[in-house]
Amino acid sequence: MISSDATNTAAAPGAAVTKRLQSELMQLMMSNTPGVSAFPEADNLLSWAATIEGPVGTVYEGLTYKLSMRFPMTYPYNAPTIKFETPMYHPNVDTAGNICLDILKEKWSAVYNVQTVLLSLQSLLGEPNNDSPLNGQAADLWCSICLFDP
């Protein structure tokens, strides 16, 4: 027979993730941050649909991009998996929508939340990291444009 303490301990990680994601959803909804949004898909709090608008003054201005966000049961100690669902041409996004952004990999910290990640992705659109491209052709094009930009 499993004691109630053992059962509560086993359920605690899932409960902690649920509580954190519910809190982040409320924070995102209350902040009304322009250009970013995210909501859980159906009844699955670990799977979200998000959107980011292209930053003003970039080639992405006026465009809206859909993303998928998948949260591990170890969130926030491990980063969510985020992919662009809307096709896009960018040095740090491959043709499958995978993203190369350090805070989604080795620089992840539990202090990040959905809002900060979406704002970082929005910023990445206008300021790619050409030192670590997923799309070499887009990185080369970006560099050639920067050389001619006054």
Active site residues: 100
* DSSP SS3 for 51: strand
Q: Measured between alpha carbons, how far is 111 from 94 in angstroms, rounded to an integer?
A: 27
* Strand residues in the chain grouped as ranges (E): 36-41, 44-53, 64-70, 81-84
Q: Measured between alpha carbons, how far is 93 from 85 in angstroms, rounded to an integer?
A: 11
Maximum Cα–Cα distance across the chain: 73
DSSP 69-99: EE--TTTTTSPPEEEE-S---BTTB-TT-BB
**Sequence-separated (6 or more) residues with CB below 8 Å from residue 85:** 65, 66, 67, 68, 97
